[in-house]
């Protein structure tokens, strides 16, 4: 069974109605990144950061996987599919994908402030308890913080992502600018004879000598085109 490895970014979830961070009108227009997505912001104002992610979780409950998510999940009927995602939502899983590596954490999980990547302290919030409060503690006694990889923090799953990228028979990139490292560097590990496809409606400035097929469309339409290309 051929191995398809998929790298997804914010454009994958944009069709579901989740704001992207970098585009005009995105989340960063309303919040300062240093305030809500850095360890220093957390130390300065835990209440602000906690509220920010509480709001994100409530928003996530109001959206559904887009057609692109669903087509990606259906690929598992024919291929060994691994998704490496920069997104913190759970839309891939809700669409039915079974092998998902989250590079930047998971919105529906919380963890210890002292030891955030220790599996002992990572917990998934119940659907009826999505609002974390200041004073709620992890098992080690520290304030619960979002299980999110903030700017300036190490990316614990990057080695796992590299290993999957090295094994790809087909590599598919959806909705990412290829400007955010270390995720953007994963393509360097893709075998030289493995075809790379990139789905994005905008022109992509990818500074690589590596050839790739650009499907200039959104995630849903792009996935339909991708299926046709690999079935030729």
Active site residue 69: no
* Opening angle at CA 34, ends 104 and 138, nearest 5: 55
Could you write out the DSSP letters of every residue in the chain? --EEEEEE-HHHHHTTTPPPSSSTTSGGGTS-HHHHSSHHHHHH-HHHHHHHHHHHHHHHTT----HHHHHHHHGGGTSEEEEEES--SSHHHHHT---EEESSEEEEEEEESSSTT-GGG-EEPPTT-----TT-B-TTSSBEEEEE--TTS--TTHHHHHHHHHT-SEEEEES--S-STTGGGGGGGS-TTS-EEEE-SS------S---EEE-S-HHHHHHHHHHHHT-
**Residue of 104, 129, 214, 231 marked catalytic:** 104
List residues with catalytic annotation.
104
């Amino acid at each position: 069974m051929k191995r398809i490895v998929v790298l997804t970014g914010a454009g994958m979830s944009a069709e579901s109605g989740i704001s992207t961070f970098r585009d005009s009108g995105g989340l960063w227009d309303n919040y300062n990144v240093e305030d809500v997505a850095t360890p220093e912001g957390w130390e300065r104002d835990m209440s602000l950061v906690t509220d920010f992610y509480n709001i994100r979780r409530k928003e996530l409950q109001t959206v559904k996987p887009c057609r692109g998510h669903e087509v990606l999940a259906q690929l598992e009927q024919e291929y060994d599919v691994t998704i490496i995602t920069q997104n913190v939502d759970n839309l891939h899983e809700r669409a039915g994908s079974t092998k998902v590596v989250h590079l930047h954490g998971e919105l529906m999980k919380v963890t210890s402030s002292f030891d955030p990547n220790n599996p002992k302290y990572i917990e998934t919030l119940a659907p009826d308890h999505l609002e974390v409060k200041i004073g709620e503690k992890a098992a080690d006694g520290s304030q619960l913080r979002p299980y999110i990889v903030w700017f300036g923090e190490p990316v614990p799953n990057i080695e796992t992502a590299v290993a999957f990228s090295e094994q790809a028979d087909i590599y598919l990139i959806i909705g990412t600018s290829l400007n955010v490292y270390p995720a953007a560097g994963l393509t360097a590990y893709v075998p030289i004879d493995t075809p790379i496809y990139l789905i994005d409606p905008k022109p992509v400035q990818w500074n690589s000598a590596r050839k790739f097929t650009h499907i200039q469309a959104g995630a849903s339409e792009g996935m339909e085109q991708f299926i046709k290309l690999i079935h030729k």
